[in-house]
Structure 1
Amino acid sequence: MFDGVLAEFGTRYLISIVRVTLQVSLAAVAVSTVVSLLLAGLLGFRDFRGRQAVVSVVNTGMGFPSVVVGLLVLLLLSNAGPVGGGFSLGLPGVGVLYTFGGVELLYTPTAMVVSQVILATPVITSVTLSAIEGVDDSIRDAAFAAGGTARDVQVAVVREARYGVVTAVLAGFGRAVSEVGSVLIVGGNIAIATEGGARVAFTRTLTTAITLESRQGNYGTGIALGVVLLAIALSVNALGNVVRERGRA
């Protein structure tokens, strides 16, 4: 099976697909983790008006349809969108005072990262918040009794919930690396030809490559690529299990 993939694609092409997949997913998860930790910390340690509404939005975001996210990012980054097309400021009767130029991010790995950040952030935030809220109150009480400040209590709680945070990050990575709908819309599933005639993936990931091969009837190649994707997911989960087991030890 894998010999057929290498014969069909070439080693360089297959490696480029795996590289794009990992670069986009890891970059998205890194950004999502920072945003999610800040948001989960705010929701877990602060009580403010509208908190429950924010939590409901985060939990709802875990089920965001990927194609809808892809469409929103497409509209945002297209030439007619506020980011891709830019926008102008002016006054009635005066005309345009200043024009902000757009940026060409559509059909690039950056656009794919944006879409994956939107999809992964609710997952990481929700699981992290559950881990924080699941910490026993005795940890907070002990930190206060030891003379700790509010910041010290927060650090103690997060430290206790760190294994849940690891689980959250792994869940976010799983959401990102398995994504196909949004990255197909905003990335375009592009592969470019090199000077030697070989193909190299530009915005083509394992999931979009599997979709392409399946549509072309190359089911054996699609299955082989699926095995590669599954191996990546299992490797990341195995790493997470090692981290959790060492923590328990």
Structure 2
Amino acid sequence: MNEILQGLIQAFWLILSFDSELITISLRSLYVTISALIISTLIAFPLAALLVVTRFQFRRAIIITLNALMGLPPVVVGLIVYILFSRSGPFGVLGLLYTTSAMIIAQVIIITPLITSIAHQSMQALWADYRNLLISINISKMQRVVTLMWDSKRALITACLAGFGRGIGEVGAIMIVGGNIDNATRVLTTAISLETSRGDFSLALALGFVLITLAISVSFATHWFGKTERGELW
């Protein structure tokens, strides 16, 4: 019990003293997740809007596949990315394995289906109200896409926050493709796993508190945007 209490005290001290290792790992986690989030949104939002405003063969199959990929095991994603970027893989010449770039790629694969599905559901509901109007004024499909994305902006922000929450807590794929290398690819989740196995509970707890704070912040932000989207009070 004394060891746990001492670990908690040391953990809070590391946070309050802005420990350099703690700050570095936290910033690296944010860099990887935010980079993946930006790339994912650039893919997910236009794709979701196109799936709403257009009708084509295999459209339904694509939607079902995206919904299914929301539950894709992260370790499987990590394995696939590892094989692709290993020395014997098709993209091994790029030398991206065990770098933050490989970690970003893995996170993009993990969170893009989630963001796309949430964005598609939001814009699909809006399209039901806008469809006749947008078709009657005879605007192009691209203009319809832009209109839907603009008027769904709060829901899209919620989708981004959901993607961020999924990415920042990822450990399996990140561990496989990043290698948890000190001062290179070590992030919050992989560092917690390592420090726990080492028995350094103070640093593990400090990292855990940072991760929990980020998760709670995202949860509050998602709740707030959801409330304001529906015009409800907090």
TM-score between the two structures when normalised by the length of structure 1: 0.80
Q: Aligned in 2, Cα 1:229/1:58: closer, same or farther, shift over 3 Å? A: same
- Which residue matches 1:3? 10
Tell me, yes or no, if the aligned pair for 2:46 and 2:145 is still in contact at 8 Å.
no
- Which residue matches 1:98? none
Tell me, yes or no, if the aligned pair for 2:77 and 2:109 is still in contact at 8 Å.
yes
Q: Aligned partners of 1:36 and 1:2: how far apart in 2? A: 43
Q: Aligned partners of 1:145 and 1:49: how far apart in 2? A: 24
Does 1:161 pair with 2:162? no
More strand as a share of residues: 1
**SS of match in other structure, 1:142:** helix
**SS of match in other structure, 1:135:** helix
The partner residue of 1:226 within 189, 198, 208 is 208
Q: 1:34-70 CA deviation, whole Å, 9 max, x = no partner? A: 0111221221111111111111111111011111110
- Which residue matches 1:130? 121
Does 1:22 pair with 2:30? yes
Give unpaired runs (5+ residues) of structure 2. 1-7
The partner residue of 2:61 within 35, 44, 53 is 53
> Equivalent pairs: percent with the same residue?
37
Does 1:210 pair with 2:192? yes
Tell me, yes or no, if the aligned pair for 1:189 and 1:203 is still in contact at 8 Å.
yes
Give unpaired runs (5+ residues) of structure 1. 85-101, 192-200
Q: Give the CA RMSD over aligned residues.
A: 2.4
Does 1:104 pair with 2:104? no
**1:67-106 map, 5 Å:** 67-84=75-92, 102-106=93-97
Instruction: Answer with 141-150 or 28-37: which moved more.
Output: 141-150
**1:238-249 map, 5 Å:** 238-240=220-222, 248=231
Q: 1:90-141 CA deviation, whole Å, 9 max, x = no partner? A: xxxxxxxxxxxx1111101001001000001000011000011111523232
- Which residue matches 1:174? 165
Q: Aligned partners of 1:2 and 1:77: how far apart in 2? A: 42
- Which residue matches 2:4? none
For residue 148 of structure 1, report the CA deviation from its aligned partner. Answer: 4.2
Tell me, yes or no, if the aligned pair for 2:29 and 2:188 is still in contact at 8 Å.
yes
Q: Aligned partners of 2:97 and 2:116: how far apart in 1? A: 27
- Which residue matches 1:91? none
Q: Aligned in 2, Cα 1:123/1:2: closer, same or farther, shift over 3 Å? A: farther
Q: Aligned in 2, Cα 1:185/1:132: closer, same or farther, shift over 3 Å? A: same
Larger RCO: Structure 1 or Structure 2 (Cα < 8 Å, ≥ 6 residues apart)?
A: 2
- Which residue matches 1:188? 179
Instruction: Mark the structure with the bigger radius of gyration.
Output: 1
Tell me, yes or no, if the aligned pair for 1:111 and 1:186 is still in contact at 8 Å.
yes
Q: How many aligned residue pairs are there?
A: 222
TM-score between the two structures when normalised by the length of structure 2: 0.85
More helix as a share of residues: 2
Q: Aligned partners of 2:198 and 2:27: how far apart in 1? A: 23
For residue 218 of structure 1, report the CA deviation from its aligned partner. Answer: 3.2
